[in-house]
Homo-oligomer: A and B are copies of this chain.
């Protein structure tokens, strides 16, 4: 039987309490909807976390057991503590998976992990077409060559991310813009996926292809079963070298 993965869906979870339009769409928070469709996959053990929870939702005992952390933040990036940001970043470098959704491009953890200011341009909600650029990648499993989101927030290039290790999806927007909408990054011993759909006033998290992509991404981002222990060290090798190689 497949190994059980611990997944945390972290949500800023403020729009859903203050904006009627968002509340109507995601009454329990958009993270609850993400958990709902991930729960259909019995190999995943999914829990919720929110900015206004104790320890900003990620006390050490939770974070240190997390295999894949999904992150949705928007208006309150600055409220995430630098200390938590650093803990998340360091855990990714040691192997934890990290999936940044939508406005998470500007979140503190994404910026610190990737090495980017996360800048892009943005505009009104409109029709988006998502194109599959890499049919050989596990995250595109089951995804057609393109699919349509009737309404998403416009995100536009230039998007000041580094070149990804794998560029999976590109987006077309009605108003004349394109966007690198799905991108994989290896950082240290960890894996990171950025995926653009998921504005709080849009229904993208109900789209079956968006759901498949996020589910595929969780499995792809899961920590590798490495053949050695990866620690946060910069060790001196003298004795090891002497013993092993120098005969």
Name the B residues within 8 Å of A41 (CB-CB). none
Range for the number of chain A residues in contact with chain B: 35 or more
Name the B residues within 8 Å of A122 (CB-CB). 234-237
A187 lies within 8 A of B227 (CB): no
B119 lies within 8 A of A131 (CB): no
User: Residue on B with the closest CB to A133?
Assistant: B157
B160 lies within 8 A of A189 (CB): yes
Q: How far is the CA of A116 from the CA of B60 in the complex (A)?
A: 21
Q: How far is the CA of A152 from the CA of B91 in the complex (A)?
A: 32
**Best-surrounded residue of A133, A141, A171 (most CB of chain B within 10 A):** A133
Q: Which of A98-138 contact B (CB under 8 A)?
A: 106, 112-124, 129, 131-138
Q: Does A230 contact B (CB under 8 A)?
A: yes
Name the B residues within 8 Å of A117 (CB-CB). 90, 93, 188, 232
User: Residue on B with the closest CB to A191?
Assistant: B136
A116 lies within 8 A of B227 (CB): no
Q: Which of A141-162 contact B (CB under 8 A)?
A: 141-146, 148, 154, 156-160, 162
Contact with B along A155-198 (1 / 0, CB 8 A): 01111101101110011110111101000011111110000000
> If the complex has contacts A115-B114, A157-B170, A160-B93, are A129 and B245 also in contact, measured as CB distance less than 8 A?
yes
Name the B residues within 8 Å of A61 (CB-CB). none
Q: How far is the CA of A224 from the CA of B137 in the complex (A)?
A: 7
Complex partner residue of A226 from B106, B129, B135, B191, CB under 8 angstroms: B135
**Best-surrounded residue of A116, A129, A158 (most CB of chain B within 10 A):** A158
Name the B residues within 8 Å of A143 (CB-CB). 226-227
B187 lies within 8 A of A123 (CB): no
Q: How far is the CA of A180 from the CA of B157 in the complex (A)?
A: 13
> If the complex has contacts A172-B176, A189-B136, are A121 and B234 also in contact, measured as CB distance less than 8 A?
yes
